[in-house]
Chain A
Amino acid sequence: MSIASIVFLLAFVAAAWWFTWNVKRIRRNILLGREEDRTDRPSERWALMTKVALGQSKMVVKPIAGMLHIVVYAGFVIINIEVLEIVIDGIFGTHRVLSFMGGFYNFLIGSFEILAVLTWLGCAIFLARRFVLRIKRFWMREMTAWPRTDAALILAFEILLMSAFLLMNAADHTLQGMGVEHYVMAGSFPASAYIAQLFHFSDLAPATLIGIERFSWWFHIIGILGFLNYLPYSKHFHILLAFPNVWYSKLAPKTEMSDMPRVTAEVKSMLDPSIPPPTPPVEPTNGMPPEHFGAKDVFDLTWKALMDAYTCTECGRCTSVCPANITGKLLSPRKVMMDTRDRLEEVGKVIDAKGKWEDDGKSLFSRITEEELWACTTCNACTQACPVNIDPVEIILDMRRFLVMEESKARPALNAMFTTIENNGAAWAFGPDQRMKWTE
């Protein structure tokens, strides 16, 4: 085995190990959430995932961004088939090991080239939309330095990877033409043949071309392994989580709120003394926080809400249709998701450092303010707009539940409304005796 093969193998194993470690960490963090069964109606879920995640049906609601996204997504996924060959070549020191497929191989490489060019262009346009046209939703309050840098890094990364792929092919194609040993005639190069021409590759010495080809090959594959390990630290993790996240979507009507069986049991017992009150929940002995009414921290949200947080890629379509945000209120559904993820990461780091959860005196409320929570109209424009079926409303309402039921911190006018309902059975100060007055 050559030194190059050994270096490659080590890099590959290290990257796979590091990525697996991060995936396990994220999985553990997600499972800090409350249990909820989201496995009913599986055939409906598969259909939904096929349509929404694979088919990108909600992306194309915005036609320009949607089509560009499909190009980049398809390009990136399909070109990564090429990684299979690169890995085999890397381990065994072969060159274009799959070229025995002949015409079909040429078709594949040709398609990859066209997709690479389209992906390159797509990413360049995305960068321009973000940083030159400065589309509003990419520059809102929650789009602070890191989210903006993250977005720029992802796009720059993909442009570099595509550039390396095309340069590699351009050098390879020229070397093939020169009949240089090892560079067997294989592949079809509709884009890189043109690039080779543009940069006058045929004027270069074979050694220089081999240098370009090898450098690009290594840059491309090390870049992919690096990018893979960047994902868990980035909003770009959505390329993996989008699929399960859509599969586990809420299938109930959007405006249906989740039940709280313990509250129902308590109220039933209040209304009918013959029904015994529910047994109080057992205090956790493993250092985890006790169960709350509503959500104070990430532990009180469902695991699906936490998966939502890791799936969010901060596109801001939710916020751009939010009536509260449109009218200048503080609420941004995207920020709710980003805050939830940041808090979850923070909690995860405590667990990593101490081996178990220890209260750090912080919670979701350290990031999400009451003013944001009380601005929501529960209209579900955000859940409708989200291309990967994230549900910010559930988090908002669970946090309201905590504010009201554990802290008695509703807006004063809402407390008045509660009292009115308790006294009159109506949200206005009219008694039951006036219920039929409208008929008069």
Chain B
Amino acid sequence: MDGVMNDPIKVPTMAEFAASGEVPEVLFWVGCMGSFDDRARKISKAFVRILSAAKVKFAVLGQEESCTGDPARRAGNEFLFNMQALQNVTVLNGYGIKRIVTACPHCFNTIKNEYPALGGEYEVMHHSQFINTLLKEGRITVDGGSFAGKRITFHDPCYLGRGNGEYEAPREVLLKLDAALVEMKRSKANGLCCGAGGAQMWKEAEPGNKEVNVERTEEAIATDATIIAAGCPFCNTMLNDGVKHFNKEGSVVVKDIAELIAEAGDL
């Protein structure tokens, strides 16, 4: 399966769409993690496979995409945030973008909630919401496949769950896998952060007696799930590191929702 995931895929850009005078159904905002991080690139690919299988006419910005400004803003640099955001809004508005989907809850939160004040008003969806809609509309179908009967626990990304109140879409998607969905002790509104938010991803943790991702992964492992489902590339990295910390790579895997659906549907 990993072999398939590593195959090159055809991803059209907005520039190509504009050149042919066509308008895509939705813009896939890949995000910096999804574009540059080795692990997160697989999530982007899996999501593209889903979009292609569902025959969604989509495009990406490619070279014209730039950091949303989320980490700069959370780290206190409002000037840099505005630089990034205003440029992105100009590009998005230039193409007349109406709908955006992204696999990153931080991009999702910023574009959805913080771009309107800068003149960027779009319908923004997290990929779990988009995939859920595709499944409900029958545009893709999956059966449990290799995941049937397995124990899966979902880690709520703060910027999707508490931040934007979306707890159900990722769970509804996971239920399609015919797996046993088990909850961690702290889940949904009480979910524990992975430790990466608020620009922590780019710095050493402040002095303490434990890493946040270790605390969280410990809880995930305690559910006896063999799959930790994530919906955020940052959480994915943090939980992966946590699994390695406990030397559980052999028995527990961290997978994004898009990867699970793409694999189950053999897309």
Contacts and interface: CB of A to CB of B under 8 A. Distances in A.
A327 B210 contact: yes
B66 A425 contact: yes
A32 B112 CA distance: 32
A212 B211 CA distance: 60
Nearest to B41: A438
B175 to A, nearest CB: 25
A380 B157 CA distance: 11
Interface stretch (A106-114, A118-126, A256-264, A333-341): A256-264
Contacts of A384: 162, 189-190
A4 B190 CA distance: 55
A379 B193 contact: yes
A432 B82 contact: no
A440 B38 CA distance: 12
Contacts, number: 223
A323 interface: yes
B67 A421 contact: yes
Interface string B125-162: 00000000000000000000000000000000011001
A252 B163 CA distance: 9
B63 A436 contact: yes
A434 B36 contact: yes
Contacts of B75: 400, 404, 410, 414, 417-418
A84 to B, nearest CB: 40
A421 B214 CA distance: 28
A270 B61 CA distance: 24
Interface in A396-440: 397, 400-405, 410-411, 413-414, 416-418, 421-422, 425-428, 430, 432-440
Interface string B207-219: 1111110111000
Contacts of A260: 78
B73 interface: yes
B9 interface: yes
Given A323-B193, A432-B63, A377 B163 contact: no
A329 B215 CA distance: 13
A326 to B, nearest CB: 6
Contact of A405 (B79, B198, B203): B79
A433 B66 CA distance: 11
B208 A255 contact: no
B195 A376 contact: no
Given A253-B109, A255-B159, A439-B11, A267 B209 contact: no
A439 B78 CA distance: 32
B196 interface: yes
A98 interface: no
Contacts of A263: 78-79, 82
A330 B206 CA distance: 8
A254 interface: yes
Q: Which residue, A266, A411, A414, A438, has most C-beta atoms of chain B within 10 A?
A: A438
A437 B34 CA distance: 10
Interface stretch (B93-101, B113-121, B245-253, B254-262): B113-121
A324 interface: yes
A417 B198 contact: no
A417 B62 CA distance: 21
B80 to A, nearest CB: 6
B195 A323 contact: yes
Contacts of B113: 252-253, 255-256
Contacts of B205: 327, 329, 375
A270 B210 CA distance: 43
A383 B71 CA distance: 20
A418 B72 contact: yes
Interface stretch (B18-26, B83-91, B222-230): B83-91
User: In this complex, which of A327, A330, A374, A403 has the most chain B Cβ atoms within 10 angstroms of its Cβ?
Assistant: A327
A414 B158 contact: no
Contacts of A439: 8-11, 45, 48
B102 interface: no
Interface string B188-205: 011111011111111111
Interface of A: 252-257, 259-260, 263-264, 266-268, 270-271, 293-294, 321, 323-324, 326-331, 371, 374-381, 383-384, 397, 400-405, 410-411, 413-414, 416-418, 421-422, 425-428, 430, 432-440
22 contacts: A253-B112, A253-B113, A254-B162, A263-B79, A270-B83, A323-B215, A326-B215, A327-B210, A327-B212, A330-B206, A375-B206, A378-B74, A378-B197, A379-B197, A400-B76, A410-B77, A417-B203, A418-B77, A421-B72, A421-B80, A434-B35, A436-B63
Closest 8 CB pairs between A and B?
A255-B163, A328-B209, A404-B76, A378-B198, A400-B76, A379-B193, A425-B66, A328-B208
